[in-house]
Amino acid sequence: MSSLLEIKNLTTRFYTQDGVVRAVNGISYSIDPGATLGVVGESGCGKSVSMLSVMRLIPDPPGKIEDGEVFFDGRDLLKLSDDEMRRVRGAEVAMVFQDPMTSLNPVLTVGFQIGEALKLHQGVNDKEARRQSAELLDLVGIPNAEDRLDDYPHQFSGGMRQRAMIAMGLSCNPQLLIADEPTTALDVTIQAQIIDLVKRLQEQLGMAVIWITHDLGVVARLTKRVIVMYAGYIIEDAPVKMLYGSPRHPYTIGLLGSLPRLDAPPGTQLLSIPGQPPDLVALPEGCPFAPRCTFVADRCLEENPGLETVAPEHQVACWEKDKTEGVWASVR
């Protein structure tokens, strides 16, 4: 099966008064049609910037996509004209952002904003756009959908606004939905509802989903494959069961160790990762995680490792990966 989206050596920089921010540093991966992919890591690791680069939404200046290729359905999105890219956004690739209150226009009705995408990409008239908008709100679980079309975003709860954003993203039946931490500002019960909604819609519509988050619990429920990012690099790539059962990068082990577990024995201490995230303006020469790593060796301080296969479909970027094998089993 050919990949739906294939990213090769994507590199994005921000040119600021403090220096050049190396936000995304030559990442490469692909996703097949109908597949689910989780992208995890702490704030500032490049998760959102990489997806904004794919969508060509990096503000220029100060941002610039310096290098790479982003093939979607056989076309390099980075080489399309602005008009061609506008036809791709929403119609073929849709993105749901983190905060629906700032993503939705507060002075336009929800129905108008959903219908706008339908009229732009599908050429329907106002009456048909309103009918389809009501169907979409109903699809994402908003009751009395027809009556809610004339409401403004502030009249929706946080969970309903996020559902409206998902409805907007699905309005043109995209092949790929990118969800950028869409449950971060919601309480846990609404988070669970949104996750179940996306799973159901994916199965129903057959679209691929990339879910960006720092919440490993969400990833376990939703995705089948996980990419872990740190300092703008991909440092581990594995099927979700393999990553949770046998993580190999010290950073991934630390992330999983900091997550409370229902099956942990009483008195089990959560792990913590020492130190601070690296300064993306002044990244170290070697592995960016080396200053915080308990397995650090001389080579780690001098040379940044690339991804290497340690098991079928499992890649890790670590010089000391032989030492990390079995570590998670001993601390979990």
Q: How far is CA 260 from CA 124, 270, 271, 325, in A?
A: 49, 7, 10, 22
Say yes or no to pLDDT of 71 above 80.
yes
Give me the percent of the chain exceeding a pLDDT of 70.
96
Residues, the chain: 332
What would the two tokens of residue 163 be?
């559902």
More confident residue, 41 or 332: 41
201 neighbors 169 (Cβ within 8 angstroms): no
Say yes or no to pLDDT of 249 above 90.
yes
Tell me the DSSP string of 224-277.
SEEEEEETTEEEEEEEHHHHHHS--SHHHHHHHHTS--TTSPTTPPPP---S-P
For position 1, what pLDDT does the model report?
53
Average pLDDT in the 210-230 region? 87
Say yes or no to pLDDT of 86 above 90.
no
Cis ω before 305 (30° cut-off from 0): no
What would the two tokens of residue 304 be?
């940044």
Say yes or no to pLDDT of 327 above 80.
no
* pLDDT single digits (tens) 234-247: 999 999 999 988 99
For position 101, what pLDDT does the model report?
65
For position 329, what pLDDT does the model report?
72
What mean pLDDT value characterizes the chain? 87
Which alpha helices (DSSP H) does 4-125 contain, by range? Answer: 47-54, 82-88, 100-103, 110-122
User: 130-157: string of b/e by CB count within 10 Å (b at 16+)?
Assistant: bebbbebbebbbbeebeebbebebeebe
For position 20, what pLDDT does the model report?
94
Of 34-48, 91-105, 150-164, the least confident: 91-105
3-state secondary structure at position 66:
strand
For position 35, what pLDDT does the model report?
92
Say yes or no to pLDDT of 137 above 60.
yes
For position 100, what pLDDT does the model report?
62
